[in-house]
Amino acid sequence: MSRTALIVDDALFIRSLLRSILEMSGYTVVAEAADGGEAVEKYREHAPDVTIMDIVMPLKNGITASIEILSHDEKANIVICSSYGSEEELKNAALMSGAKGVITKPFTAEKVREVVDGVLAEASPPLITEQVAPLP
């Protein structure tokens, strides 16, 4: 049985690109969401193996949505995928949200596979191991 994924990004082209990469890598994309509120609903409906979450989205951002998902399912595997700030700021935001991995935009198919496969292989410990300075 293939691993399942939820893709959350307000940009349709990013969702489509991630869907293609994941499907070519053997994942089944069970749902997509364009904002954080929809992400929480879709997560509860499908309970995917991994959720790829943008940070900056309308209505509810990815940090808030990630925290909500993790309060519902503490074993949720969330990967932040964003161009938000510097890589250090992105890692810090991911740590604050409880995410287990980070993909910076722009990304390559290899990077997406590496991070998602790594998060699922570890299944518990975060791949983000360094503490970085808090956001200003």
CA distance 113 to 52: 12
- 130: pLDDT strictly greater than 70: no
Q: Are strands 101-104 and 50-53 parallel, antiparallel or unpaired?
A: unpaired
The length of the chain is 136
Fold of 4-122: Rossmann fold (3.40.50)
Q: In the predicted model, is pLDDT for residue 135 greater than 60?
A: no
Pairwise CA distance, residues 99 & 133, whole Å: 17
Per-residue model confidence as pLDDT tens digits over 55-99? 888 888 899 999 999 999 999 999 999 886 667 776 777 777 888
Give the pTM: 0.85
| Domain boundaries defined on the chain | 4-122
